[in-house]
Amino acid sequence: MEKKRILSGMRPTGKLHIGHYVGALENWVKLQDEYENFHLIADYHVLTTDLNTDDVYQNTIDMLIDWLAAGLDPVKSPMFRQSQIKEHTELYLIFTMLITAARLERNPTVKEQVRSLHIENITYGHLGYPVLQAADILLYRGNAVPVGEDQVPHVEITREISRRFNNVYGKVFPEPEPLLTKFARLPGLDGDAKMSKSLGNTILLSDEPELVQKKLRKAKTDPQKVRRNDPGRPEVCLIFKYQQKFNPDEIEEIEAGCRSGELGCADCKMKCTAKINEFLAPIIEKRKYYEEKNDLVLEILADGEKRAKAEAVKTMEIVRSQMKLG
């Protein structure tokens, strides 16, 4: 039986943090045996919020190394840069004709970005980036897209564009389904709802044990639990959320100790630090391996781009034929 196909991607912003792992990478690694995966380095998408491209290449390499260190297999899953597969932009242009500006303006994710980044004048490219995402997914005829709940509206736009194209020109594209990630978000060390490098509230996948310990020591906890014996509220404590992910075997004991006051915040942070460092150790070891083998990383990228290009060319030949454009 032929495997269904997945397209997943990230914007290259450099080294990844544990929020990226929990929200996406972990799921990608699990799915690569069940599906045929394509992994996109979305370097054109960077332009939607930042026109400075000086760091994009190095950020691409750093992110690719983190992908490999986390367990993505380049033999199973081609990894490639969006900018190197020109068919992305061709299909994007066609798709822009199939959706209205009013529909894109209703996209809640764009509205949230405009608010959080304090964008006064939204560009045409930023408003239309879900259309570029639709082209990214459908260029590889993806059947599914692993996303957090906040990205489901984008998948719906992709489904609408797929339907519209198929109705006008004949059946070419599937209507991809969202595959929801269990831990879509991990709160930042400052208690912010999202871990983000721009907020400086992250634990990187490449952080050494001493740095993880230092960062967690300063992390916010329940403001009402001031002294060791004060009863705590695990539901409002970000360290408890980290424990849920990285220390599930002890979670009932930790919750009880926090609520009763027997477990102090310092001890809780020490437990959490040990578990996060235990999780990061093999990733850091593998990351160092790839850092010392730059030629191998570039070979993996070139091979991924060759394989992705072949699929993209195949899709666009079908699209042009259906549209009677050649």
pLDDT tens-place string over residues 234-287: 888 999 999 999 999 999 999 999 898 889 888 999 999 999 999 999 999 999
The Cα–Cα gap between 143 and 137 comes to 9
Burial of residue 266, with CB atoms counted within 10 A of its CB: 0-12 exposed, 13-18 middle, 19 or more buried: exposed
Kindly indicate the confidence band of residue 73, based on its pLDDT and cuts at 50, 70 and 90.
very high
Structure token digits, residue 83: 């900018």
Kindly indicate the confidence band of residue 122, based on its pLDDT and cuts at 50, 70 and 90.
confident
Q: Where in the sequence is the domain holding 115, given as residue range(s)?
A: 5-186+294-323
Is the pLDDT at 169 greater than 90? The verdict is yes
**Claim to verify: residue 101 and residue 231 sit in the same structural domain:** no
**Claim to verify: residue 177 and residue 223 sit in the same structural domain:** no
194-216 pLDDT tens trace: 888 878 899 999 999 999 999 99
**Claim to verify: residue 267 and residue 139 sit in the same structural domain:** no
Query: What mean pLDDT is predicted for residues 118-122?
Result: 78
Tell me what percent of the residues of the chain surpass a pLDDT of 70.
98
Instruction: Return the number of other C-beta atoms located less than 10 Å from residue 34's C-beta.
Output: 11
Dihedral over Cα of 96, 102, 106, 111: its sign = positive
* Least reliable range by pLDDT among 124-128, 195-199, 288-292: 195-199
For the chain, the domain total comes to 2
User: Is position 30 within any domain?
Assistant: yes
**Claim to verify: residue 272 and residue 153 sit in the same structural domain:** no
Structure token digits, residue 128: 């239309």
**Claim to verify: residue 133 and residue 245 sit in the same structural domain:** no
Query: What mean pLDDT is predicted for residues 54-79?
Result: 96
**Claim to verify: residue 180 and residue 221 sit in the same structural domain:** no
Place of tokens 């894109």: 104
User: Is position 200 within any domain?
Assistant: no
**Claim to verify: residue 212 and residue 178 sit in the same structural domain:** no
**Claim to verify: residue 226 and residue 268 sit in the same structural domain:** yes
231-245 pLDDT tens trace: 889 888 999 999 999
CATH number at residue 38: 3.40.50.620
Q: In terms of DSSP bridges, do strands 36-41 and 79-81 run parallel, antiparallel, or are they unpaired?
A: parallel
* Least reliable range by pLDDT among 2-11, 277-286, 291-300: 2-11
CATH number at residue 231: 1.10.240.10
Q: What are the φ/ψ torsions at residue 81 (nearest 5 degrees)?
A: -90, 130
The Cα–Cα gap between 131 and 161 comes to 8
Is the pLDDT at 112 greater than 80? The verdict is no
**Claim to verify: residue 88 and residue 137 sit in the same structural domain:** yes
End-to-end CA distance of the chain: 33
Nearest-CA neighbor of 43 among 110, 132, 141, 131? 132
Kindly indicate the confidence band of residue 40, based on its pLDDT and cuts at 50, 70 and 90.
very high
Confidence (pLDDT) at 17? 95
**Claim to verify: residue 298 and residue 284 sit in the same structural domain:** no
Cα 245 from chain centroid (whole Å): 17
Tell me what percent of the residues of the chain surpass a pLDDT of 90.
69
Confidence (pLDDT) at 321? 97
**Claim to verify: residue 39 and residue 128 sit in the same structural domain:** yes
Confidence (pLDDT) at 68? 98
Confidence (pLDDT) at 186? 85
The Cα–Cα gap between 223 and 82 comes to 44
Structure token digits, residue 324: 């009677």
Confidence (pLDDT) at 1? 65
